[in-house]
Copies of this chain bind each other. A is one copy, B any other.
Amino acid sequence: MADEIEWNVLMRTCPSRTSLAEIANKWTAMIVVVLGAGPLRFTQVRTRVDGISAKVLAETLRRLERDGIVTRRSYDEMPPRVEYELTTLGHSLAEPLEALRRWAEGNIVQVLEAREAYDLRPTSGGGRDLA
């Protein structure tokens, strides 16, 4: 994290930026993290990623399938059963995302404290720049 990098311009035309923007999504990140532990059925994912609607889950899973992150395996049974599993590519993505989740878990207290401190600052309620 010490090297000065000239490439550090995230051009809007760069396709990897679009990709990053998609990954860096609330639900996407959570779903991949959850699937990192192994294949799950639709409802299982939904239970673990608590709060997501069926619609959004289906949409996101579809997109992840399209991007080669997860595979969708549908068993022709009754009642229907569909399993989602990370691909190799998906697992490679799960690693950095898992690191991110760990960061969130490990630093939430600091964030909360910083937030509280910020909100208590006189500048945050009234006048802006303290100059």
A residues neighboring B (CB under 8 Å)? 1, 3-5, 8-12, 15-17, 19-21, 23-26, 28-30, 33-34, 36-38, 47-51, 65-69, 74, 76, 89, 91-105, 107-108, 110-115, 117-119, 124, 129-131
Chain B contacts of A95 at CB under 8 A? 1, 99
Chain B contacts of A33 at CB under 8 A? 8, 10
CA distance A37 to B58 in the complex (A): 38
Could you tell me if A96 and B91 are in contact, using CB atoms closer than 8 angstroms?
no
CA distance A34 to B5 in the complex (A): 10
User: A5-B37, A30-B17, A105-B16 known; A100 and B11 CB under 8 Å?
Assistant: no
Total copies of this chain within the assembly: 2
Could you tell me if A30 and B38 are in contact, using CB atoms closer than 8 angstroms?
no
Which of B15, B25, B99 is within 8 Å of A99, CB to CB?
A: B99
Q: Which residue of B lies closest to A15 (CB)?
A: B108
Could you tell me if B26 and A8 are in contact, using CB atoms closer than 8 angstroms?
no
